Structure formats: C-alpha cells, structure tokens
C-alpha cells in the first residue's frame, strides 16, 4: 500500500500495534532528547502539528504543544468545539481532510470510541490518538513507560501496584496490557472487588503468563511494590454515600502509608488528582507524578520525531469495507458518523475495527 512507503512509522492509534522493540526504541529516543534538548530544538523546523480536541484536555494538549514547539515546529488547532465552526454539523471526515491539508501531523481527542481510527482513514498526514472516549490513550501509556524506565531503570521485572478504580480507568488498562508484554512484571490490583480490572484485561494478563494478585488494602500491599500507580476513585462509582466514605481512606495514599513502602518505590499518577494522594506526599522523593508530566513531554517529542521522519503527505486511499452492519457499541464513532465503512475482523467473534468492541 502506498501509505506504507511514505509513512514509515504509520499512525499511532493503539500501542498494541507497535512491537515491543519499537516501544523501547521510542523510549531510547526520548532519553537522548532529554539529555540534550538543545540538539533537537530545530529538528522539526517548518513542521505543523494540528491538535483537534473535540473535548477539552488542557494538560494533554499542552504536552503535545510543548513537544512540537521544543522540536522547532508549530501548532494549529482547536480545543473548544462548542465555539468552533467545526462543530456546526461538519463531519469528522471533512474536518480531518481539510485540517490535515494544513498540517504535517495531527493529534485528535474525541469523546467517541474509535474516532482516532476513523480520522486516520481520511487524513493526509500521520494521526496520533490523544484519547478516544474510554477506549485508548496510547501517549499516556508511553509517558508511564518512560517514567518507569527513567525512575526505575527498567520496564521489566517490576512489581506494580495498580490502585483505585481499575474497572473504569483506561489508563491502567493500557499500562497493564503493555507491561505484560515485557518479561517478569507482576501486578497487585488494589481496589474494591467491584472496581478491579475488567475481565478482558485480566484475560490479556493471563494469556501473556503475567502474574497478578488482588488486594483490598493499600496499606497491606504497599510494602511489596516497586511501583505504585495511583488513580482516582470517583464518588459516583459507589452505590451508597456511606460505602464511599468508609472505603475512601483505604485507597488514599498518605505519609503514614509511605512509611511502609520500600526506599526504591516510585509513585505514579496520570493526573489530575483529586484527593487520592495527600499533599504531604508531594515532598517525598519517591513521588514522581509531577516529573511524570515532564517525561510525557519528552516521549511525545520522540514520537513526533519518529513519525515525521521521512513522512510525506498523501491522499489516503479509498477503504474497502470489511464485513457489514453496524457496531452495537453506542459509544462507537460509527454511531455518529454514518458514512464510515464497516470494519470488522473475526476473532472469537466479530470485533469492530474502530472501537474494538466484540460483537
């Protein structure tokens, strides 16, 4: 396919599509850029990144903006579809076709699942998924991996505690699915039984032969961990207010719990936090969640650099529909953009090529 030739790195929709060696290659580039940022300050001179943010995410958008700007590139885009004319009934296809004419690389955030995949079908330039609903957010996972690589020295043979709402957090799903591709990683799933990882992520862990245990107490588990990945527990996930109040403290990280942790523990958090990490912990050198955002910028620089390297703009080819019918997932992008060609692959059942929903 013509696309293959002109975009050696392709799009980044799902990190699963990148072999493990490609992931470690990205981390190596990120480390090089971080050590000598001034060598890279004009690497993308004359290039434009478009940020199509169909829902606001100031932090992610700024991280991408800082990344391209620090490579000498420039930014166009929107963050406010309510105010933007692109929201006035224009299809995702038309917007992507037009803006990808102006840009060299495009990053999209969208509330519907599969929106980034859909955008990649019509874009004249490379597309990076910056979050499509509750589905995927691959650059957050790259951020987490680079933080581990820099603060623990490795992304394998780690005992990783995942704490909080593991059922609904796409961040921990992605991280778990990626870390289990590297040898010797082990998970401790710290949550209420109702909020542990969903069955499909647990199967991925099992299939990969990755060990995991479950825990309902952060205090009891913290002493074993090399890494603690904190996430929010949202009040609305609990049936009753009393249940929420009773459980809440169990999953809050504070200075007292930190006293039971190893000296080499590293605490990560995708941010923003609400109150699941006490402000006192910020001054503990094992807390690296603020540094994590800096690592995120460097790994996005590495990603942009790889994707732009040798990439040429091209009109995307017409896609032949695979399978037929409508994806039953109500949050799938195909439900709101009816012109999209059906894309189903056959696994254990039919799987939607946009949102990965199994039919």
Binding marks (x or -) toward a copy of itself, 35..74, rule CB under 8 A?
---x--x---xx-x-x-----xxxx--xx-xx--xx-x-x
Binding marks (x or -) toward a copy of itself, 239..278, rule CB under 8 A?
--------------------------------xxxx----
CB of 271 to a copy of itself, least distance (A): 7
48 or 127: CB nearest a copy of itself: 48
Q: Find the binder of a copy of itself among 15, 27, 34, 86 (CB under 8 A).
A: 86
CB of 100 to a copy of itself, least distance (A): 9
Can you give the three-state secondary structure of the chain, one letter per residue? CHHHHHCCCCCECCHHHCCHHHHHHHHHHHHHHHHCHHHHCCCCCCCEEEEEECCCCHHHHHHHHHHHHHCCCEEEEECCCCCCHHHCCCCHHHHHHHHHHHCCEEEEEECCECHHHHHHHHCCCEEEEEEECCCCCHHHHHHHHHHHHHHCCCCCCCEEEEECCCCCCHHHHHHHHHHCCCCCCEEEEECCHHHCCCHHHHHHHHHHCCEEEEECCHHHHHHHCCEEEECCCCHHHCCCHHHHHHHHHHHCECHHHHCCCCCCCEEECCCCCCCCECHHHHHCCCECHHHHHHHHHHHHHHHHHHHHCCCCCCCCCCCCCECCCCCCCCCEHHHCCCCCCCEEEECCCEEECCCCCEC
The count of residues interacting with a copy of itself (CB under 8 A) is 52
Choose one: 147-155, 202-210, 238-246, 293-301; the region binding a copy of itself (CB under 8 A): 293-301
239 or 285: CB nearest a copy of itself: 285
Choose one: 28-36, 99-107, 144-152, 194-202; the region binding a copy of itself (CB under 8 A): 99-107
When asked if residue 213 is in the footprint of a copy of itself (CB under 8 A), the reply is: no
Q: Find the binder of a copy of itself among 30, 34, 103, 179 (CB under 8 A).
A: 103
Q: Find the binder of a copy of itself among 17, 20, 28, 76 (CB under 8 A).
A: 76
Query: Which residues contact a copy of itself by CB under 8 A?
Result: 38, 41, 45-46, 48, 50, 56-59, 62-63, 65-66, 69-70, 72, 74, 76-80, 82-86, 88-90, 93-94, 97-99, 101-103, 271-274, 279, 283, 290-291, 293-294, 297, 318, 339
């Amino acid at each position: 396919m013509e696309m293959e030739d002109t975009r050696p790195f392709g799009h980044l929709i799902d990190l699963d599509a990148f072999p493990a060696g490609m992931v470690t290659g990205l981390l190596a580039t990120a480390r090089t850029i971080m050590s000598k940022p001034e060598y890279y300050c004009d690497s993308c001179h004359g290039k434009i990144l478009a940020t199509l943010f169909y829902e606001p995410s100031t932090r992610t958008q700024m991280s991408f903006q800082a990344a391209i700007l620090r490579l000498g590139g420039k930014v166009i885009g929107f963050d406010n579809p309510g105010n933007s004319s692109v929201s006035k009934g224009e299809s995702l296809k038309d917007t992507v076709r037009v803006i990808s004419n102006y840009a060299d690389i495009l990053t999209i955030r969208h509330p519907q699942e599969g929106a980034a995949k859909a955008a990649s079908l019509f874009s004249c330039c490379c597309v990076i998924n910056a979050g499509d609903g509750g589905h995927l957010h691959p650059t957050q996972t790259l951020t987490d991996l680079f933080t581990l690589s820099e603060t623990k020295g490795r992304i394998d043979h780690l005992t990783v505690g995942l704490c909080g709402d593991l059922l609904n957090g796409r961040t921990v799903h992605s991280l778990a699915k990626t870390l289990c591709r590297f040898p010797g990683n082990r998970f401790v799933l710290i949550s209420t039984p109702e909020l542990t990882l969903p069955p499909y992520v647990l199967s991925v862990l099992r299939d990969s032969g990755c060990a995991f245990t479950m825990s309902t107490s952060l205090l009891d588990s913290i002493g074993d961990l090399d890494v603690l990945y904190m996430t929010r527990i949202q009040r609305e996930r609990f049936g009753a207010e009393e249940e929420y109040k009773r459980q809440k403290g169990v999953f809050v990280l504070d200075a007292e719990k930190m006293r039971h942790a190893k000296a080499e523990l590293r605490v990560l958090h995708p941010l923003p936090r609400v109150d699941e990490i006490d402000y006192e912990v910020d001054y503990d050198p094992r807390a690296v969640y603020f540094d994590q955002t800096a690592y995120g910028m460097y790994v996005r620089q590495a990603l942009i650099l790889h994707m732009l390297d040798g990439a040429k703009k091209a009109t995307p080819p017409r896609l032949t529909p695979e399978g037929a019918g409508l994806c039953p997932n109500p949050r799938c992008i195909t439900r709101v953009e009816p012109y999209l060609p059906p894309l189903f692959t056959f696994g254990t059942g039919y799987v939607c090529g946009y949102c990965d929903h199994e039919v």
